[in-house]
Amino acid sequence: MPADQRPATLHDVARLARVSVATASKALNGRKHVSAASRAEVLKAAEVLAYSPNTLARGLVAGRTGMVGLLTSDLEGRLSIPILMGAEDAFGADRTSVLLCDARGDAVREGHHLRTLLSRRVDGLIVVGARPDPRPSIGRDLPVPVVYAYAPSADPDDLSLVTDNVTAGRTAIRHLVEVGRRRIAHITGDPSYGAAQDRARGALDELAEHGLKLAGDRVMFGAWSEAWGRSATGMLLTQRTAVDAIFAGSDQIARGVLDALHGAGLEVPRDVAVLGFDNWEIFTTSSTPPLSSIDMNLETLGRVAAERLMAAFDGRLGSGVEQLPCRLVPRESTTAR
Amino acid sequence: MPADQRPATLHDVARLARVSVATASKALNGRKHVSAASRAEVLKAAEVLAYSPNTLARGLVAGRTGMVGLLTSDLEGRLSIPILMGAEDAFGADRTSVLLCDARGDAVREGHHLRTLLSRRVDGLIVVGARPDPRPSIGRDLPVPVVYAYAPSADPDDLSLVTDNVTAGRTAIRHLVEVGRRRIAHITGDPSYGAAQDRARGALDELAEHGLKLAGDRVMFGAWSEAWGRSATGMLLTQRTAVDAIFAGSDQIARGVLDALHGAGLEVPRDVAVLGFDNWEIFTTSSTPPLSSIDMNLETLGRVAAERLMAAFDGRLGSGVEQLPCRLVPRESTTAR
DNA sequence: TTGTATGCGTTATCAC
DNA sequence: GTGATAACGCATACAA
């Protein structure tokens, strides 16, 4: 049901207020050199006409559009949405809008979206990868600053924001030790993921500092699936490995772990504590018991990406990989005994 | 690392090609009244300068920006992302871009975003609600067409696109009957959700047409949670209700159902078939056995929303509530016995 | 303080 | 076929 009257322009406001467009512009933008009387006139006229400034036209002259592009390959939106929200917060939703483009893992489509975004003269770009491993740079000499989030760019000259997986691994183990566990196993996902390796390394380092070693002796790499969590746990149990805690590489794996433990008649956290990763609410709060997990602070990632972009708008952009800390979210699956 | 040279303009291209901006414009847009020679000259110049037309300026004169706003309240992005992708497809990602704004369930923030989007002169608006019940209209006399998706507008003069929950309920039951089930229970979520009521009604209607009634006699309303699925199934079992199939109101509920059945030593689908709703992959493919479910075709919802919007760009927009069909996705949890 | 004029990058309407 | 020129809506340096 659109009212087919075209929106009021600054000209309309100026005419109604009996001033020039210049005065009207100044008045609406709160600038000096305008009398209180005219200012009031203009404001009233704008009110009457429901004037809404054309941001496009403003951007044309300002050289800034107030838009940033969010180029993602994450089909589920599980990463993009929190990052988007963090960025929205940092920018201020009224000054900057986000153009979200989903490349669906297709490089051609990504190039297409990139061209479109540049032709829309976005002020900056945030690139969100689907998995936390280096990805091809979208290009060196782009006319706007680019920040890579979650998945770093393969080009070290780009600026990338990633989660600090090594420290996250340490945090996980420290927590389990603090709640009195000593025989800790680590069941994680696809070993080709750098994140899996990093978390495992952090875990091993922290264990060593406590004079402990991994229950079952080695990190159990597999797949990022519930099924793997189940079968890996099954292996642990049939081998009669002494275990009082399992650090899972993802919440989905943790779900499988819980399943297998329950199936074996073990109680969580009394017999075995379980710690997940991702803090994906649909998994952590609905499991029994509610699952402790490590949150990657994706909103923060988005917020920092926005801040780096804003800093780049005046001045130059940094480069390299910036590690952002994770956060432990304790729930019942890892309470002290 | 932005190359701080401002992007080439049509003027630059024209100058390099030794023609006027008018000719350059025509050549680049493939219009008539340009000699083959000049056209080639212009194209080459554009190539050399890596010319990318400024969509803002183009939109300013065309009166169309080629942008649509997607106003959502769905914090997880579970609804918005598929709808966004469907809309992208229908529009053609190169002609239309989507500004995604998350209101986070806050009406004030929603109004803010709305004003921003209008000031950016989006060509249209898609409003996605967080739950499939009528929501307040964002306003009657907006200067652009608006389509409500998933959650209909409370104002019947608006155009809303929703899933056909009644038919979905029928589809669910028909499928279960076709795989040989006769004692079918329905465990669903919050009864204040119209969608829950509609699906239940469809289920009851279809049962009646087959001369059947609900196992346990009544629809089991509760919460949209795994826990409710578990406890409701437990009630069914302790009451010794004869059941050979359970239609769950969501995949999460279905997960709880599966849990409880397994815990009672029952086998799925041999003893009891289980059908979910939402076809949320992280739940359906990782459960044991993989969960049959009903897909709301959210991509289609987005696609149709885009089509309605495009139709509205020339001509007027329809009104009322348009129901879109769901789709059954059979997996192992409901195979015939 | 106020208004006039110019430019932002394109497209479109004209004369030539 | 080609090229000035006028919009589009706004901001601003400059002149009044």
Q: Would you call A153 exposed, middle or buried from its count of C-beta atoms within 10 A (0-12, 13-18, 19+)?
A: buried
3-state helix, strand, coil in chain B (%, to 5): 40, 15, 40
Whether A52 and chain B come into contact, CB under 8 Å, resolves to yes
Which residue's CA lies closest to nucleotide C14 at its C1' atom?
A: B22
Closest residue by Cα to the C1' atom of nucleotide C11? B61
Query: B272-317, pLDDT tens digit by residue?
Result: 999 999 999 999 999 999 999 999 999 999 999 999 999 999 788 8
By three-state DSSP, how is residue B186 classified?
Answer: strand
Model confidence at B177: pLDDT above 90? yes
Say if B229 is an interface residue toward chain A (CB within 8 Å). no
What is the reported pLDDT for A337?
Answer: 76
Q: Who's near B303: CB < 8 A, 6+ residues apart?
A: B86, B87, B89, B90
Distance from C-alpha of A68 to C-alpha of A86, rounded to nearest angstrom = 13
Q: What residues form DSSP beta bridges with A100? A: A70
B81 and A85: CB-CB below 8 Å? no
Chain centre to alpha carbon of residue B26 = 39
Rounded Cα gap, residues B97 and B313, in angstroms: 15
What is the SS3 assignment for A201?
helix
More confident residue, A263 or B75: A263
How far is it, in rounded angstroms, from Cα A195 to Cα A33?
58
Delimiting residues of CATH 1.10.260.40 domain(s) in chain B? 10-53
Give which of B214, A14, A308, B139 is closest to B127, Cα–Cα: B139
Of B85, B112, B316, the CB nearest to A102: B85
CA B140 → CA B136, B153, B309, distances in Å?
Answer: 11, 11, 16
Contacts of A67 in chain B (CB under 8 A): 99, 120
Separation of alpha carbons B315 and B48, rounded Å: 41
Cβ contact A112–B94 (<8 Å): yes
Q: What is the CATH number of domain B165-295?
A: 3.40.50.2300
Interchain CB distance below 8 Å, B142 and A3: yes
Element (H, E) at B160: strand B159-163
The answer to whether the CB atoms of A143 and B55 lie below 8 A apart is no
For strand C, the positions having any atom within 7 A of a protein Cβ are 1-5, 7-13
Question: Can you give the pTM of this predicted structure?
Answer: 0.95
For CA atoms A6, A11, A14, A18, the dihedral sign is negative
Asked if A231 is an interface residue toward chain B (Cβ–Cβ < 8 A), one would say no
B10 touches chain A (CB under 8 A): no
> What distances in angstroms separate CA A152 from CA A79, A105, A108, A196, one per listed residue?
14, 15, 19, 15
Tally of CB atoms within 10 A around A63: 9
Residue with tokens 């020039």: A20
Q: Is the pLDDT of residue B1 over 50?
A: no
Rounded distance in angstroms from the CA atom of residue B11 to the C1' atom of nucleotide D2: 16
CA–CA gap between residue B101 and residue B116 (Å, rounded): 10
- Between CA A63 and C1' D15 the distance (Å) reads 26
Q: Hey, is the C-beta of A77 within 8 angstroms of any chain B C-beta?
A: yes
Q: Hey, is the C-beta of A141 within 8 angstroms of any chain B C-beta?
A: yes
Closest residue, by C-alpha, to the C1' of D11: A61
* Residue that the structure tokens 């990190």 belong to: A219
Instruction: With beta carbons under 8 A apart, name residues in chain B contacting A5.
Output: 143
Is the bond into A82 cis (omega within 30 degrees of 0)? no
Instruction: Please name the residue of chain A whose CA is at the shortest distance from the CA of residue B259.
Output: A259
Distance from CA of B205 to the nearest CA of A (A): 32
More confident residue, B67 or A317: B67
Q: Count CB neighbours of A20 within 10 A.
A: 13
CA distance A317 to A196: 29
pLDDT for the residue A117: 97
Sign of torsion over alpha carbons B219, B220, B221, B223: negative
Which of the pair, A257 or B2, is modelled with greater confidence? A257
Give yes or no for A252 touching B (CB within 8 A): yes
Give contacts of B153 with chain A, Cβ < 8 Å.
none
- State the span(s) of chain A assigned CATH 3.40.50.2300: 66-163+298-326, 165-295
Among A102, A124, A122, A9, which Cα is nearest to B121's?
A9
Count of CB atoms situated within 10 Å of the CB of A58? 18
Q: Do B56 and A115 touch (CB under 8 A)?
A: no
Rounded percentage of chain A residues whose pLDDT exceeds 70: 99
Q: Quote the CA–CA distance of A246 and A231 in Å, as a whole number.
A: 13
Q: Which two tokens stand for residue A216?
A: 């079952």
pLDDT reading at B24 higher than 70: yes
- pLDDT for A37 equals 95
Phi/psi-derived region of residue B173, left when phi > 0, alpha when psi is between -120 and 50, beta in every other case: alpha
Tell me what pLDDT residue A274 has: 98
Residue stretches of chain A with pLDDT short of 70: 1-5
pLDDT at B3: 47
B145 neighbourhood in chain A, CB within 8 Å:
2
Question: How far, in Å, CA of B148 to CA of B70, rounded?
Answer: 10
B228 close to B222: Cβ distance less than 8 angstroms = yes
Instruction: Confirm if B290 and B284 have CB atoms less than 8 A apart.
Output: yes
> Is the previous residue joined to A269 through a cis bond, with omega within 30 degrees of 0?
yes
pLDDT at A3: 46
Range 271-300 of B in CB contact (< 8 A) with A = 282, 286-288
Question: Do A236 and A243 contact (CB within 8 A), yes or no?
Answer: yes
Q: Any bridge partners for residue A273, and if so which? A: A245
Tell if the CB–CB gap between A121 and B1 is shorter than 8 Å: no
Contacts of B226 in chain A (CB under 8 A): 286-287
Closest CA to B203 of B223, B219, B191, B190: B219
Q: What's the confidence (pLDDT) of residue B94?
A: 84
What is the CATH class of B66-163+298-326? alpha beta
Residue window 88-107, chain A: list those with CB within 8 Å of chain B. Answer: 88, 93-94, 97-102, 104
B292 and B328 Cβ atoms separated by less than 8 Å: yes
Level-2 CATH architecture, domain A10-53: Orthogonal Bundle (1.10)
- Is strand D in 7 Å reach of the CB of A95? no
Contact check, Cβ <8 Å, B99/A97: yes
Half-sphere exposure of residue A166: CA atoms within 13 angstroms, side-chain side: 3
Rounded CA separation A303/A96 (Å): 13
**CA-CA-CA-CA torsion for A179, A181, A184, A189, nearest 10 degrees?**
-20
* Sign of CA pseudo-dihedral B142, B143, B148, B149: negative
Query: Per-residue pLDDT averaged across B107-135, rounded?
Result: 96
Amino acid B147: pLDDT: 98
Do residues A65 and A118 make contact, with C-beta atoms less than 8 angstroms apart?
no
Query: How far from chain centre, in Å, is Cα A110?
Result: 19
Which nucleotide is nearest to B14 if distance is taken from CA to C1'? Answer: D3
DSSP track, B243-280: -SEEEESSHHHHHHHHHHHHHTT--TTTT-EEE-SS--
Measure CA to C1' and name the residue nearest C13.
B22
Per-residue pLDDT of B208-262, as tens digits, reads: 999 999 999 999 999 999 999 999 999 999 999 999 999 999 999 999 999 999 9
